[in-house]
Amino acid sequence: MSTLHVNGREHTLTADPGTPILWALRDSLGLTGTKFGCGAALCGACTVHMDGQAIRSCVTPISAAAGKRVVTIEAVTSSNDRVGAAVHAAWVKHDVAQCGYCQSGQIMSATAFLKSLPKGKQPSAADIDAAMAGNICRCGTYARIRAAVAEAARAIA
Amino acid sequence: MFIASPTTLTHEMPRALQHMLAREQADTPTALPRRSFLKLAGIGGLGGFALGAFPQTATAQGAGAAASALKPTEQPSAFVQIAPSGEVTVTINRLDFGQGVQTALPMILAEELDANWAQVRSRHGSNDGAYVDPRFGMHLTGGSNSIKHSFTQYRELGARARAMLLSAAAARWNVDVAQLRTEAGQVLGPNSRKASYGELAEAAMALPVPEKVVLKDPQHFRLIGHATPRLDGRAKSSGRQDFGIDVRLPGQLTALVARPPVFGARLAAVNDSAARAIAGVKAVLRVPLGKGEGVAVLAEGYWPAKLGRDALQLQWATDGLEKVDTDRQLAQYRELASQPGALAFDADMAPLATAAHRIDAEFVFPYLAHAAMEPLNCTVRLGPDRADLWVGSQFPGSDGAAAASVLGLKPEQVKVNVQMAGGGFGRRGNPASDFVILACEVAKAARAVGLAVPINTQWSREDDMQGGYYRPMHLHRARVGFDERGNLLAWDHALVGQSIVSGTFFEGMLKNGVDGTATEGLRDPYPVPMRLSVHHPKLNVPVLWWRSVGSTHTAFVMETLIDEVARTTRQDPVAYRMRLFDGKHPRHRTALQLAVEKSGYGKKKLAAGRAWGVAVHESFETVVACVVEASVQNGQPVLHRVTAGVHCNLVVNPLTVEAQVQGAVLMGLSMCLPGAAITLKDGVVQQSNFGDFVVPRITDMPQIAVHTVPSADPPTGMGEPGLPPLAPAFANAIARLTGKPLRELPFKLA
């Protein structure tokens, strides 16, 4: 038995504490917005927030989340999360997605990045690239990801 | 099977696909019979009314002659439903795996329907016979043909539905149809009368389907040609878009399959006691693969399935199997290239001996994995006399037929629910149906031990990358003779690589022993007296099409050699190509000219250390030219800026075309980067994940500007053609900086 605090609620899970958070979300809690891409922290498709930090949920066990708050794409883009809402709006405005499979992870990385910026700081192009370099998009949506992150940064300034 | 119209102009198709059509016309049916349309009324849970008369209904009403003369692909009922709210749901006859047909096909239909775009939705189809490619007569997303082949089809479907709504309004108001017009989901009549499509849909449904319809004058298009955001943009920006991997059915189990280390290996010994002891593991089952076999671990979710699979102790029998080794394979290919092969073209090679200039060149291209972001998966639910599949498939018809064969069912007893796919690039269009058959074998084996539950057979990233079906490794050898002015006198060319179509139901595409999917893109459009000798060795490595197929390598060979001739004869590479086009090939000339103008080529002064690179290539009937700026930094080629000139005839959605070219350019770049190769040692694939099979990241993304040549001609392919010219343009720029041509992908600077 383990507990996992996800999107504001505490869940009791029968899954082994070594189970990666990704599979607890997808298979135990039915939160399939978080995607499986590589299982090895190489592609970023599984990115969620743990106490505000972007983490790779495919290699982070439930046990590592004890006492911490996990937030997923479902909450970031549909709650009162101001930064998440700005990122979501920018993604829609710039028509970022193609196949869309990696975009949950892209949005989670972008949101954590923007939240980490000092108030009033506008990220440079290099800052954005560095922040998003851990997320692979095989469709090649990177140009629009750059534009959308910059737009969201302006929107929350 | 729906037979392609006899009026189909086969000579207009890509060379390699002409034979496929001939084969398909004579082949056994894989699609469902027409009566299956009746099922469409009840599926989808959309409420509302399927617009248009079903053939049988129409017959009962005495209007059958016209309606039932319509082919399945012309029946609006299979493609458009209008709810009482006015919501219009368009079913697409393709897989959307990022290329945007999920939006473009509804745009085309909605244009002629005069729908209110804000109320238009989209959904995937199935292996139902309605959803075959109207030209090829099989379920197929590939060859960049979704819009090319379904443009007129979807216009006519929209026009038919509109005509029926008009008739329904005319009957309701007792006025002549000629007094009515349509606008944004409404029929407008005399005296300011209005009726929404939602109000009229039920009455319209009861009317016969008109066989002949008049299409709009393209100058009145309101949607086609206008930048239109994707219909799935919001869902895909909030985690709400479901993919095949997200299918969740009651009682569903996840299966992971331990796959053989060498393709085709069989099990010598299985010890599964530790695997069975893992909590959540429900069964461990041996399953046949297309070649060889595997061990499936069925569990309550991916993680216990993975733990169970990790705990298996397996011994594999690899005796008698060819164990491919990339180094040895390259030596073998070199040997083959020096022997006479099957001749694709022939010409007099005597001028090679006397030509003022000669280039002798060898090119090597590795195996490539598709590495789509969503690892392969397929969910199967078996019933007493049917099976339902949920899968992101480019070939749902043949996949459904393959499933039926494995399960001992008739094809019409299998429904393939096409799922949004997280990329594919050709991997989901496998004539061998490998991942669908595997999922069916797992479900069958599970049922045999009493586990009659839906099963999602999931591939790990390692399975996906090591499971074969790669872009084939190729070796090209060319001897090119030319004079001082660059006139091409003789070009002796050898190509070695596995055939993709050999041994599949596409084998009819082999012509005189030459697989056109390997040679497409060689020679044309240049006036080259070419002798092309081809070898297709058979190796124990499964191969498949990879975005832009033959042009992934042929464009590189042609465009770097043409550039080298220009450099050798001290000619500008653009002017030289234009001279070779000799006033012909207008689409090549305009695409190249557009890229040249927009890039500033020849006018703009480049930053220090940068050089221009140029290439132009036609694939899937679209021409794309790339003009790039590149440099060498720390011994590595760096791509800074790409300007693409595109001639794809009429543009349906400019946003999609731009995205497709940007994405294809990046995938072209992916072939150049260090680590973009699948290699084998002693039969075992050496790469396993994104750590050792490298794909581009945002930091690799150059500036890409996409420009299209204005045209009103019927649209041509757009999913693939942006890819081929990028790598040669990049290589040509680097060759200008280093003086040495690049003849291997990924790039290696000596």
The helix/strand/coil state of B599 is helix
B659 touching A (Cβ < 8 Å): yes
The domain segmentation of chain B, as residue ranges, is 10-237, 244-320+376-458, 340-368+469-738
A79 touching B (Cβ < 8 Å): no
Fold equal for A2-74 and A76-156: no
Comparing CB atoms, the residue among A36, A78, A104 nearest residue B375 is A36
Mean pLDDT, residues A8-30: 96
The residue in chain A having the minimum alpha-carbon distance to the alpha carbon of residue B720 is: A139
* Contact (CB<8Å) A101/B374: yes
Q: Is the pLDDT of residue A130 over 90?
A: yes
A33 touching B (Cβ < 8 Å): yes
Neighbours of A12 (CB within 10 A): 9
Q: Which residue has the tokens 């039969």?
A: B683
The shortest C-alpha distance from A101 to chain B (Å) reads 5
A20 touching B (Cβ < 8 Å): yes
Q: What percent of chain A has pLDDT over 70?
A: 99
The shortest C-alpha distance from A16 to chain B (Å) reads 8
* Contact (CB<8Å) B374/A16: no
The shortest C-alpha distance from B546 to chain A (Å) reads 13
> Which residues from chain B sit within 8 angstroms of residue A28, using beta carbons?
301
Q: How far apart are CA B353 and CA B245, in angstroms?
A: 59
In CATH, the number for domain B244-320+376-458 is 3.30.365.10
* Contact (CB<8Å) B659/A144: yes
B665 touching A (Cβ < 8 Å): yes
B459 touching A (Cβ < 8 Å): no
At B25 the pLDDT is 38
Residue ranges of A 122-141 with Cβ closer than 8 A to chain B: 128-130, 132-141
The answer to whether B652 touches B108, Cβ cutoff 8 Å, is: yes
In CATH, the number for domain A2-74 is 3.10.20.30
DSSP B569-584: TT--HHHHHHHHHTT-
Q: How far apart are CA B717 and CA B722, in angstroms?
A: 10
Protein fold of B340-368+469-738: Aldehyde Oxidoreductase; domain 4 (3.30.365)
Selecting from 1.10.10.10, 3.30.365.10, 3.10.105.10, 1.20.1080.10, what CATH number does the domain B10-237 have?
3.30.365.10
DSSP B160-184: HHHHHHHHHHHHHHT--GGG-EEET
The shortest C-alpha distance from A98 to chain B (Å) reads 4
Mean pLDDT, residues A113-142: 97
> Which residues from chain A sit within 8 angstroms of residue B665, using beta carbons?
140
Fold equal for B244-320+376-458 and B340-368+469-738: yes
Roughly what angle, to the nearest 10 degrees, separates helices A125-132 and A142-156?
110
Q: Where are the beta strands (DSSP E) in B250-406?
A: 253-258, 266-271, 281-288, 293-299, 313-317, 342-345, 357-365, 377-382, 387-391
Q: How far apart are CA B455 and CA B300, in angstroms?
A: 10
Comparing CB atoms, the residue among B233, B420, B689 nearest residue A42 is B689
* Contact (CB<8Å) B238/A74: yes
The model's pLDDT over B514-554, given as tens digits with 9 standing for 90+, comes to 999 999 999 999 999 999 999 999 999 999 999 999 999 99
The shortest C-alpha distance from A38 to chain B (Å) reads 5
Has this prediction a pTM greater than 0.90?
A: yes
Q: Omega into B304 within 30° of 0, i.e. cis?
A: no
At B291 the pLDDT is 86
The model's pLDDT over A67-111, given as tens digits with 9 standing for 90+, comes to 999 999 999 987 689 999 999 999 999 999 999 999 999 999 999
Neighbours of B571 (CB within 10 A): 16
At A79 the pLDDT is 67
At B24 the pLDDT is 37
At B378 the pLDDT is 98
At B71 the pLDDT is 84
Q: How far apart are CA B80 and CA B113, in angstroms?
A: 10
At B69 the pLDDT is 64
* Contact (CB<8Å) A92/B371: no
The half-sphere exposure of B371 on its side-chain side, counting CA atoms within 13 A, is 30
pLDDT less than 50: residues of chain B? 1-67
Selecting from 3.40.50.1450, 3.40.50.150, 1.10.150.120, 3.40.50.720, what CATH number does the domain A76-156 have?
1.10.150.120
The residue in chain A having the minimum alpha-carbon distance to the alpha carbon of residue B376 is: A37
> Which residues from chain B sit within 8 angstroms of residue A98, using beta carbons?
98-100, 659, 663
* Contact (CB<8Å) A97/B374: no
The domain segmentation of chain A, as residue ranges, is 2-74, 76-156
